[in-house]
Each structure stands twice: as C-alpha cells, then as structure tokens.
Structure 1
C-alpha cells in the first residue's frame, strides 16, 4: 500500500495472480474505471486524483494490458476481469465507467453479471452502424497491414493536427509495447462482439446510464471531433432505449477526453454518482 499526497491509502492487488486492480478513496457508490484498447489503467489517473476524495475509485488493467497477465484475448475474458474487480471491491453500489473499447467491456461485464451495478458511464464510446459482414471485412482489412502499422494508424486517427505530438507518441509507444498477436485477436473479437451484442447490451440496461462524448467514430475506425449540436448513433440509440439516460458532449476535446478536459469529465461523473447516491 502507498499513501497519496492527500493521505489516502492506495491499495494495489493482483487478483488470482493475473488481474491488477488499484483502489483509492472511500465512499459509495464505488467508481470502477475500465480503460480502452491497448491502453491501461493510468489513463484514469487525472480523474482518480479529482474524485477519490469523494468516492472509492477502482481501476483495473484488462487482461494483456498494463500490469495484468495475458489470458484469453476475448471480450468475454475482459468482462470477466471487470467482474472480478467488482466482486473484490465488496461494494453492492458500483458505477462502471468505460472509455472507448472499455464502453463495450463494461456492457459485456454487465451482460455476464449485473449484480451490484447501480449506474454506467460510457466515455467516448461508439456504436457501429454497418452490417455484420461489412464490419468483419473492414476489421480484417484494417489489420492486414500488420499490427504495428495498424496501431500506429489507429492512434494517429485519435488525434487532430492541434494535439501535442508528445502525447500521441507516448500513447502509440505504449500501445506497441505488448503482445501484438494478443492485440490482434482482441481487436477482431471486439468487432465480432459488436456485431452480436452492441445493441443487445444496450437493450438489457436497467440502470441509469450516461454518455460523455467528444468525438464520432465510423466503421472504418476513423475519429473526428463532434461538431456543436450534432450527436452520435450511440447517443441516439441509448436515448431511445434506456429509460434513465443522459448525454454530455464535451467541446474542443479529443478521444481521450479525460486527458483533454479532466475537470469537466470528473465533475460530470461526480454529478451522476451523487444522483445515484440520492436514489439509493
């Protein structure tokens, strides 16, 4: 255990010698943060710093990412890891928060085991709109250039011309510092998962949900800033299906909105979490 500057205890655990989880802060509901593809739990550091004085913050490294071991390169295994972290927390009031691929992982985790989840926050997620075969064909074509080239291109498309080059370089180097065969298998499995479960997992949601969005994303894996007044297929689909739903669009922020606008993102999460406390 270590202590942060504000004297809070930071607890690191390795669940089953495989899944790395870090917890800091007290209070409920607990906030369980899930990172995106070829990323890790440190993406949430700025938000944890801002929120851990009010809520218990739990971050998890998905299998094959960060300090977690590589298990099966599947969405099912990623969802199971989130549920292990949720169970280890001991809380029966958990808000699951996912970024990018993590928005799908938290829905897969909820599909496997909804117990204890009182809310869900999707940070700059996406919903494919193409037919299944087109999605699979696009995914296989995308990785046919090799995983290093694919990841370099993928992360480059997450940033615009005004983004700091050092940030893109850091995140790209981190993405490449892993088993690239694992990354390829997980990417393809995630696209297959999307073709089967993306809408089903939204239809199954019975807890309040929030989308925090900054960009749009298409079936060719390209991002662009969300223009003022515009929406996304994910937002509109969830708005039409989920009874208790809201969306917040963060202007002038990129795909890593929690890096670009940490104060706005943290306070949006805190407002949602406080409402869940009042509902309990």
Structure 2
C-alpha cells in the first residue's frame, strides 16, 4: 500500500503491476477501493494499477468538513504526481466519471483515454434527480436504502450483496448527503456526461462498460451517440448488478485491454491469470 497527503490528510492507494499507461481506478461516492479488489489484479497483468481510496473513504482520511468534487480531483492529481506515472487512464465507477473527465481537462494528453463503468451517461431521469434531493434531506437513510433495494433487485452474487450492504452501508449521513449534493450540482452544471464528453477538444477515446439497466433503449441511445462520435464506444456486460467488476472481473479486464490496444496501440496479446 502507498500513500500521499492532501491538505494534511493521508490518502491511501494500492500500487500494483507494471506498464504504461497506468490505470487509475476511481471509486464513486460512498464506495471504497474494495469495489476493485477483483478487477485490479486482472488489469495489473498488463498495466500498472493505482487503486485509490477517496478522501474520507476506506483508509483515506477526510481533509476537512467542506470537501467536494474539486477536493477529490485535487486528491487524484496528488496520487498521480506521487506515483510518478507519465500517462494515466482513469477507470472510473459511476459518478467517478465526472472526476475522470475533469482530469482529462486539466492534464490533457497525460490522460490519453477514459474507461467509464456503469455510469448514468444520458440525461438523468426525474426519479434519479428526486433521489439525489432526498439524499440531502432528513430522509437520507430511506433514500439510501431505496437505492440499495434497487441495486440488489434480482442479484444473487454474495460479493455484490456484501459490498453494497457492508461497504456502502458503512457510510453515514454526512457522506451520503455530500454525495447527493455534489452529484446533483455537476449534472446541473454540465448536463449529461455524454454532452460533457463531447465538449472535450480534442476528443478522447472513451469506453463505457456497463451491465444495468437491461432497457434496450438505453443501449440504443448510446450506440446512436457513438455513430456520430467515433471516439466513444459502449459495451454491455452480461452481469446482473451495477457492480460488474465484482461479477465479471476477468471479462472486464480483457475488454479494457482490447480497448486500450486499439485506441493506444499498447499491449498486444492476451491475459494470463493474475498471481494468487
């Protein structure tokens, strides 16, 4: 385990594997780096992997009571700098994609590609926006539990169930309210993630890997966007939850590897099993 400090707070991250570009695994709000415990070993076969605990999450300390999206981006930049990595591809879960996008804005060609995992990349539907507001209210716990029920519906994977209930369930009122506030603010400011990605100049090769929802219209809309924006790819995974990295880590690592091979001409060849 490695660490750096941001505003006096200790930030911890795993640093495993070798090979450029380095993969920067970014959890979402109220999520620790534990969510990548299966995917990172497979990905580190061909690439160096940095797996971060966000400020106030997992084993990282909270830098202060008012930290926000900007604080998180500054923290990710500090990890990149401390690691000495020259080129970094963010692999961002859910709304961690906003931070990945901002890293590209700030660091330019040092971020040669983006990998987005199970993110709400289209216009957010009204029920989602209502849930964000509810997370900021005195009814935050009911709103959180409603999300948990939605995410676990039809899911039988013990790893996913344990992660949602034990890891995400360990965060309290302050962090869930912060999550609702910060996610709502960035959607209000930037529109949909696809809109925000399309403003990057020059565009950056981007892969969206997701498993839910099953709605074919959701996939069709992303494919339509890809047809007019050739730098964007979408691939749907055969997983039952919003956390396919806990269900299909080998397949996800292989798809990420093939995407980087094509986009950046990095590592030809396949994957061997990770060390045990």
Question: What TM-score do the two structures reach when normalised by structure 2?
Answer: 0.81
Confirm or deny that 1:231 pairs with 2:219: yes
Say if 2:4 and 2:79, in contact at 8 Å, map to a contact too. no
Match of 1:43 in 2: 35
Question: What TM-score do the two structures reach when normalised by structure 1?
Answer: 0.80
What is the CA–CA distance in structure 2 between the aligned matches of 1:232 and 1:69, rounded to whole Å? 41
User: Which residues of 2 match residues 51-130 of structure 1 at below 5 A?
Assistant: 51-71=43-63, 72-127=66-121, 129=123
Match of 2:231 in 1: 244
Match of 1:212 in 2: 209
Which of 234, 253, 256 aligns to 2:243? It is 256
Moved over 4 A (4+): 133-138, 227-230
Offset from partner CA, 1:80-139 (integer Å, 9 cap, x none): 2222222223222211110112122212333343351010011110135259x9976552
Gaps of 5+ in 2: 268-276
What is the CA–CA distance in structure 2 between the aligned matches of 1:13 and 1:276, rounded to whole Å? 31
Deviation at 1:173, TM superposition (A): 2.6
In structure 2, the CA distance between the partners of 1:180 and 1:229, relative to structure 1 (3 Å rule), is closer
What is the CA–CA distance in structure 1 between the aligned matches of 2:235 and 2:166, rounded to whole Å? 31
What is the CA–CA distance in structure 2 between the aligned matches of 1:95 and 1:227, rounded to whole Å? 29
- Root-mean-square deviation (CA, aligned residues, Å) is 2.8
What is the CA–CA distance in structure 1 between the aligned matches of 2:172 and 2:100, rounded to whole Å? 23
Confirm or deny that 1:160 pairs with 2:153: yes
Match of 1:5 in 2: none
Gaps of 5+ in 1: 1-10, 217-225
Say if 1:76 and 1:108, in contact at 8 Å, map to a contact too. no
What is the CA–CA distance in structure 1 between the aligned matches of 2:36 and 2:69, rounded to whole Å? 21
Offset from partner CA, 1:59-78 (integer Å, 9 cap, x none): 11112211112234422222
Confirm or deny that 1:196 pairs with 2:186: no
Count of aligned residue pairs for this structure pair: 259
In structure 2, the CA distance between the partners of 1:137 and 1:49, relative to structure 1 (3 Å rule), is closer
Offset from partner CA, 1:226-270 (integer Å, 9 cap, x none): 24685165x357526644121111124320011111121110011
Say if 1:64 and 1:73, in contact at 8 Å, map to a contact too. no
Deviation at 1:213, TM superposition (A): 1.4
Q: Using the TM superposition, name which of 164-173 and 148-157 deviates more.
A: 164-173
Q: Does the residue aligned with 1:253 lie in a helix, a strand or coil? A: coil
Higher relative contact order, chain-length normalized (CA < 8 Å, sep 6+): 2
Q: Does the residue aligned with 2:18 lie in a helix, a strand or coil? A: coil
